[in-house]
Amino acid sequence: MTSIADSYRNQSLAARVLRVWLGVTFLYAGWNKASDGAFFTSGSSHYIGSQLAGFAHGSPIGPLLNVAAQHPMIFGWLTLLAEMAIGIAVLLNVASMPAAIAGALLSLTLWLSSSWHVHPYFLGSDSAYFVMWGAYVLMLLPSKEVPVRARGRTSRATGAVSPEMGRREVVRIAAVGGLAIFGGLLGRLLKSSPRSATSASQSPASQSSSANASTSTSSGTTTGGHVLASLSSLAVGSAVNFTANNGDPAVLIRTGKAKVCAFDAICTHNGCTVEYDPGSQTLICPCHGAQYDPLSHAAVLAGPAPAPLAEIPVKIDGTNIVLA
């Protein structure tokens, strides 16, 4: 504990503020993913697979995100464990420089994926975190203003690392990894009640979609002309989720006795999956509050979304609703 306390005392106030903020935030970010009952639940709006598929559209690292979307469990666990390990390492002064560089690289990846579609750019948090991590890395670099004698003592003290010190550092790094894994598993054990199998939200919209999805004859992957739902299973003012031909999550809404519409559920702001709220009869993004009007071709009603949702042609064919 003494070395940890000394590491804080030896830093400037600005470095301490950055260190605590970044460490706590990344630790919490990992915990938030681990304890979110919907993060690994296919079909929910917070599902990591759906998020990756949405982020891939227009991202400069889209091909990498498409690969990650094919292995969402692996990528999701790697992300949350990395965030927790980085946070713990920075706070406890374990391999601080590698941890800070890893934090910067992770923030850069998130900037190029989840925040890439945010305009203006300063509304996205990941770009700010990338800059903050970069600043912290610079603060960890040896000062050029250290006197020659002191610099000599420092180089002698740090230049030769004894085997015992090397082993001790390995043990500390392993302990950080163990704490991150323990935190991730604990989060999964205490995860929020789903926000469950079909949605990451407990809103009426998600409950309605879940109920209708269970009675739909084909709420999974579809191809042109195939049945999305039967009219009898979809009440007026309700919705059901399905998968569009391009692999995106999509939502089918019955707006009247003989009126239906469908939209790509990827929010045009930040790539999150929108949900239908039967109370307000709007499509709402759970991430940043964008709202779309399905009665007006998913026009933007509120929030930061720059454009309407992509409309998917559907029609009523006898007693069923099919892709047009």
Residue whose structure tokens are 């890439």: 116
Q: What is the mean pLDDT of the chain?
A: 80
Q: Closest by alpha carbon to 287, among 308, 310, 269?
A: 269
Contact 307, 297 (CB under 8 A): no
Position 22 scores a pLDDT of: 97
Which stretch of DSSP H or E encloses residue 240?
strand 239-243
- Helical ranges in 144-228 per DSSP H: 148-159, 163-189, 204-215
Most confident of 24-38, 137-151, 161-175, 193-207: 24-38
Q: Which three-class secondary structure state does DSSP give residue 262? A: strand
33 contacts 51 by C-beta, under 8 angstroms: no
* Annotated domain spans of the chain: 2-189, 204-323
Indicate the pairing of strand 291-293 with strand 282-284: antiparallel
Domain 204-323, CATH 3.40.50.300 — does that match? no
Residues, the chain: 324
Is residue 198 pLDDT above 70, yes or no?
no
| Contact in structure between 45 and 270 (CB atoms under 8 Å) | no
Q: Are 85 and 176 in contact (CB under 8 A)?
A: yes
**Above 60 in pLDDT, residue 83?**
yes
Among the residue ranges 105-119, 159-173, 212-226, the one predicted with the least confidence is: 212-226
CA torsion 185→186→192→196, rounded to 10°? 20
3-state DSSP assignment of residue 291? strand
Instruction: Name the residue type at position 225.
Output: G
The 10s digit of each residue's pLDDT in 200-210 is 333 333 333 33
Q: Is the pLDDT reported for residue 256 higher than 50?
A: yes
How confident is the model at residue 25, as a pLDDT? 96
Single-letter residue type at 59: S
- Return d(Cα 127, Cα 66) in angstroms, integer: 22
